[in-house]
Chain A
Amino acid sequence: MRKIFILLLLIAVRPAYSQEQELIWAEKYKGENAVVTSHKQHLEVKVENGGIKGFMEVEKEILLLTDIAPGLFNNATVYHNSFGKLKSVEGYSSIPAKKGYDKLKVKDFKEVKSTSAGIFYDDDHETILSYTGLVKGAKTVLKYEIEHTDLHFMPSHYFQTYIPIVKSEFSVTVPKEVKLKWQLRGQNTDRVKQTVEESKNKTTYTWVAENLNKFNLYDDAPNGSYYLPHLLLYIDSYKPSRDESPKKIFGTVDDLHHFYYTFIKDVNTKPDEHLKKLVIEITKDAGSDQEKARKIYQWVQGNIKYVAFEDGMGGFIPREAHIVCQRKYGDCKDMAGLLVTMCKEAGLQSHYTWIGTRSKPYRYDETPLPAADNHMICAVELEGQFIFMDGTDAIIPFGIPPYALQGKDALVHIDKDHYKVITVPVMPNAENVTVDSTQVSLVGRGLAGSVAIHIKGYGAWKLEGMMQYRSGKEKEDAIKSIALRGSNKYLQKKSDFTVLADKTVRAYSRFEIQDYAQQVGKEWYINMNLQRSYENQWIDVKERTVPQENNFKNITRQVVILEVPKGYHVSYLPPPFEKGSDHLWKFKIRYENMGNEVRLMKEFEMNTLYITPEQFEENNKLVDELRKQYKESIILKAD
């Protein structure tokens, strides 16, 4: 009986790989659940009836390396939309058999509509294939063809994926009358090798990258397009027919603006009576153009809700302003269109404006392609200055662009042939200041007191936006979550939240923190660092080559005032400390003995939007120093 059992065991551990190469990969990628052995894409560009089309063939093979891999990789997803139509799709599992592999064709296909956070574009679908019979050592093969009906929107290609890849190849064949251009972006683009093959009528460009690691995702990193190696392709020009001269497509900002103009030229051309009346009503007390623009912006912020409800096509075309106004909802381009139209109605110079949020790394002068942006706002020209209004931000004051647009290029439409590219400024940290003042006294072993937090700038508007959708009880909880300090035994007794006339906000919380201080004999030990800001700013440097992204530069000042109980005096205060740099962040800590009270003053300055990998070591040293400071308690001693 025992023998049979051993035999069974042997069968079970027999390597599931039936071919040499697979065994090599299995060894090389030990510890990984799977590896992409090959990802091949080929795009055939064609000129047809004066238009330019593309036909793409994709083939991807994944080798499963562990017992849990079949559960993780039993689905494959193919994305497509109205510009990239799925023409065919097939897949099969390759199951190791006695000789070679057995093929099991995929029969289960599901098409679903994918909801993307993208704003301009919401016509994406995905087809999901389900593989069957998968085991460790099996391979999944996916093949599909996509027809690109409009090569203004060329497919881009990312070489790395979330699992390691042995070979990633992208090739394009263009006829001689088509001029293709490209950009390689992201880190490690030297790993991508390019070859060109020319025949009589055609040229084929091929990009290959081999043996790439999987990419790591970080919550605090900028979008993958900042660092993952990828290929952006575009058609520079083509000849619609043999006799015609070449037609320019992309390559300059001029070209891009020309293309975008087609989306806005036919909307909001007719005046609307209702809208006209509304604008008169809204701006009736406005004394200046600036005041008019401000009133209009505030009306849109307060009345039009952001709902990106897409009707398939027309993802680039703003809806008619009067419709948006009636419905009281719209997406970014609808709101931009409404703002442009209302401002025009009020006699202002207003402009449709395309912009990429900070999730896009591209600048128009380097990358004048649709890939460069994902958002639309309104620019209004006041006394020679362009003021940007983003309708999707319900809180931000007039004149200030949301933090997600800082440092980005805005493409401002002037007229059919004119535009301007203006860089949105990055707000200096002095504009985003938090002053946090705590006053406490000892009650038993606990602390009792209050905190007032006064916030100015992006931090204030972010908080105000969050509070807008909270009811009374939820507001109290939200205030507690920002006021919380000392320990989780922070009990909030009273709270308040106010938006002041200057659009700064003030949060107030009265509290008790039981069991906070330590008493031994005649001494009290109290750590006055009730908040430990930046304590978790530590960045794992070991593998990370990706920057850390901050929403905005800022300054935080924290003051803690502790009342010295009667009959006690201060017997120890930690020394002052400061460290940091102007290009990264810095902090200052100082204690003061005022006799009847002790003051702890801390200041933090975040001076950059991106902490780069070269700065990680410095950043972590700062965190280590700061953590040391946070360990220091003061001592109060009985007289």
Chain B
Amino acid sequence: MRKLLVHLAASCLILSSARAQYTLPVTWEGSPKLHPIAKELMDESAVFVLDSRHIQYKQEGNNTFVYRTLHRIIKVLDDKGIESFNTMTIPIGHNEIERVQARTILADGTVKEVAPDKIKRTKNEEGQESYVFAMEGVEKNAEVELIYREKKNFSTFGGEQLQFGIPTVKAEFMLVIPEGVRFETKGYNGFPSATDSIIGDKLFYYATADNIPAVEEEQYSNREAFLMNIDYRMSYIDKENPDVKLFTWNDLAKRLYNNYYQITDKDKKVIEKYLMSIGISDKDDDEQKIRKIEDGMKNNISMSNDINDDSYLKFDKIIEKKLTTESGFIAFFLACLQVAGIDHEYGLTTNRFLGPLDDKFESWNSLNLSIVYFPKLKKYLTVTGIFYRMPFIPPAAAGNKGIFLKKTSLGGAIAAIASVRKIPFMPLEASSHNIEADVKFDAEMIPEVDMKVIFEGYSANGIRESFIYIPKDKEKELVQSLVHVASKPEDIKSYKVENTAFNNYYDNKPLNLTATIASPQLMEKAGPKYLFKLGDLIGRQVEMYQEKERKLPIDMPYPHTLYRTITVNIPEGYKVSNAETINMIAEHKASSGEPTMAFISDYKLDGQKIHITIKEFYSQVNYPASDIEVFKKVINAAADFNKVVLVLEKG
């Protein structure tokens, strides 16, 4: 009984009263006409003339099913549009697709429908099934029309996205429910919430929006989180109790509690044995216990979503096979915490890059990140993020709200209630990508660089995985890409990597990469003068020099610093004649006067040595789109530093 949320109320009988057979109303025009397109859209490759979603809850026998129909008309305006829409793929997922119809309306009005036998069922490399077919006769100014209907199992929550990378002339959302049940809807990012009306024995929820612009990807943004969409949820069953709201956060807490914390004595024994086997003793404090459980499980037990065998959810089998599903992993993890007597709150949140949690609209739909909070330690942990260790959780969860379980005792019985908690970002200093470099020149003026690259916290994400998983013979190439001053692997004279293991996150021990590199490409010449490309030492920086008008708010995944200290040893007999070009400053200050991001470079002369310090940091994660200019200044300052060239001349 650990299959959470999946079969909530699988055979939900609450939606009754379907009298006569009701045919689903979505059909296409018998003799379709082409749609004129507004002038300002004529430069697009394609336009959604209509994008309609029709969701109907329907009682059939003892079960309620959800019929979801998508009806889309796409005007194709150029070769790119043709290439994009002359083939179609409809993912099947876990649902049944009952009907697929597709046709092309040619520019001269001729209609070509795709024959049913040309619609093929196929599976992709990940094993996901879909219907694929090619549209016939697609040409410029033709329209492609598609209708398909899915039959899904009952679910209390749902949502539809209605904004894409191409513009939509008209988007519609319709939800049809048998009488006696009430839903709530909420539109996001400008899409309206639905209005309801009763027609016959049904409740209709309808929302529509016209002229929805295309939204393109932008640097440092969370595009997905800003697309128009609408969520819906079942909220009341009138005939049972019209005043009691269903599926609240407290209901969720109760359900999670029952799923994860009501473990049998037998399971408890299995867990106790496991805890012993991973070296947990009574002498350990909470933090030590958590580390042993987390690191032990994440290193040794694998998760797979392809397992259909429920026996892989049994604790003894998980230990034996070292394999389970995601929900099996969570259950096992929480059982370990519980049996080990560690005070904690289990919580769920959404991926904020796709859509932050709206605690005012209780939709359980996208709560797919499992987080644990330890009140005594004031630390968070991700259960299923196997590349993270406490206190680092995926950046997608930080800065988001979460629904956490708080245990309370009510008259002796233990129950759980929900509490909404804002999950904080990690502090600025926790994540850094720093460089310490010392540059010497030989008699031929060829630079040799001693470099230490330091990755801490989130900045080590991806780097640790790479060092752990890369084959030994490819490691030097990885080093080359991280020290970025070797133009070929041979130029790396020696290197050393420290603290690659994931458990270094516990004390935030930095991953250190030290290397000695010959970098002839850093030295150029102008006649008798030498030009040392100092700016290349910090690696190619992201630039936003050529930016179009900013539409989306700015978002950095996490606060972080990039500090660099560089010493350049100028050979005897030479001097640097343009050291002042090192000095750069760009910063943004909050209204309090506190800088929230900056790039500041500075130098000091010490005999034949130049000591350069660069402080670059980003302490704030979100900025409105209107802050783009100052944001660009800081980002571009780093890229400008890449252009710093020191002129060395005799004298």
Contact = CB atoms under 8 A, between A and B. Distances in A.
Give the interface centre of A8, A67, A470, A487 by most chain B CB atoms within 10 Å: A487
Contacts of A519: 578
Interface in B466-523: 468-469, 471-473, 487-490, 520-521, 523
A1 interface: yes
Contacts of A385: none
A518 B531 contact: yes
Contacts of B273: none
A540 B302 contact: no
A632 B473 contact: no
A520 B578 contact: yes
A488 B639 contact: yes
11 contacts: A8-B279, A32-B471, A305-B138, A307-B87, A329-B134, A329-B138, A472-B43, A487-B643, A492-B546, A515-B640, A627-B520
B471 A111 contact: no
Contacts of B531: 518, 525, 527, 633
Interface string A280-320: 00000000000000000000000101010101000000000
A540 B473 CA distance: 13
B7 interface: no
B99 interface: no
Given A307-B86, A631-B524, 8 more contacts: A31-B472, A115-B124, A328-B137, A470-B80, A488-B540, A491-B545, A525-B647, A634-B526
B524 A633 contact: yes
A229 interface: no
B526 A632 contact: yes
B543 A128 contact: no
B309 A516 contact: no
B527 A635 contact: yes
A329 B45 CA distance: 19
Given A309-B134, A326-B137, A5 B578 contact: no
B279 A5 contact: yes
Contact of B642 (A8, A309, A329, A487): A487
Contact of A305 (B86, B126, B489): B86
B120 interface: yes
Contacts of B44: 471
Contacts of A635: 526-527, 529
Contact of A68 (B43, B138, B468, B640): B468
B309 A518 contact: no
A166 B87 CA distance: 45
A527 B469 CA distance: 41
Contacts of B279: 5, 8
B488 A133 contact: no
A468 interface: yes
- Count class of interface residues, chain B: 35 or more
Interface in A619-639: 627, 631-635
B240 interface: no
Given A32-B471, A520-B647, A328 B642 contact: no
Contact of A130 (B82, B306, B649): B306
B546 A309 contact: no
Nearest to B636: A489
Given A70-B302, A525-B526, A489 B578 contact: no
B525 A632 contact: yes
Contacts of B126: 112
A334 to B, nearest CB: 11
Contact of A112 (B124, B524, B548, B649): B124
A469 B527 contact: no
A28 interface: no
Give the interface centre of A134, A326, A328, A469 by most chain B CB atoms within 10 Å: A328
B546 A480 contact: yes
Interface string A506-528: 00000000011011110001010
Nearest to B216: A473
B125 A114 contact: yes
A421 B430 CA distance: 68
Nearest to A487: B643
Interface residues of A, number: 71
B472 A329 contact: no
A328 B321 contact: no
A29 B472 CA distance: 11
B5 interface: no
B428 interface: no
Contact of B127 (A72, A110, A472): A110
Given A328-B136, A538-B488, A135 B322 contact: yes
Given A70-B302, A627-B521, A632-B525, A518 B322 contact: no
B529 A525 contact: yes
Nearest to A325: B137
A469 B543 contact: no
B79 interface: yes
A519 B473 CA distance: 44
Given A8-B279, A326-B136, A491-B546, A112 B322 contact: no
B263 interface: no
A130 B78 CA distance: 45
Contacts of B360: none
B302 A1 contact: no
Nearest to B126: A112
A115 B125 CA distance: 7
A58 B320 CA distance: 29
B83 interface: yes
Nearest to B578: A520
Interface of B: 43-45, 78-80, 82-83, 86-87, 112, 120, 122-127, 132-134, 136-139, 279, 281, 283, 299, 302, 304, 306-309, 320-323, 468-469, 471-473, 487-490, 520-521, 523-527, 529, 531, 540, 543, 545-546, 548, 577-578, 639-640, 642-643, 645, 647, 649
B482 to A, nearest CB: 18
B79 A469 contact: yes
A371 B208 CA distance: 56
Nearest to A311: B120
Contacts of B139: 303, 328
A632 B523 CA distance: 10
B382 to A, nearest CB: 18
B127 A112 contact: yes
B125 A112 contact: yes
Per CB-CB distance, the 9 closest pairs between chain A and chain B, nearest first, are A633-B526, A572-B527, A31-B472, A631-B524, A525-B526, A112-B123, A469-B80, A515-B643, A520-B577
A420 interface: no
B385 to A, nearest CB: 15
Contacts of B112: 326
A635 to B, nearest CB: 5
Contacts of A521: 577
Interface string A312-350: 000000000000001111000000000000000000000
A374 interface: no
B124 A328 contact: no
B524 A632 contact: yes
A209 B221 CA distance: 53
B122 A113 contact: yes
A234 to B, nearest CB: 30
A71 B489 contact: no
Interface in A39-83: 67-68, 70-72, 74
A268 interface: no
B488 A108 contact: no
Nearest to B78: A471
B629 to A, nearest CB: 16
A116 B240 CA distance: 56
Contact of B578 (A114, A303, A518): A518
Nearest to B533: A631
Contacts of A303: 139
Contacts of B83: 305, 469
Contacts of B283: 1
Interface string A486-509: 011111100000000000000000
Contacts of B299: 67
B323 A631 contact: no
A107 interface: yes
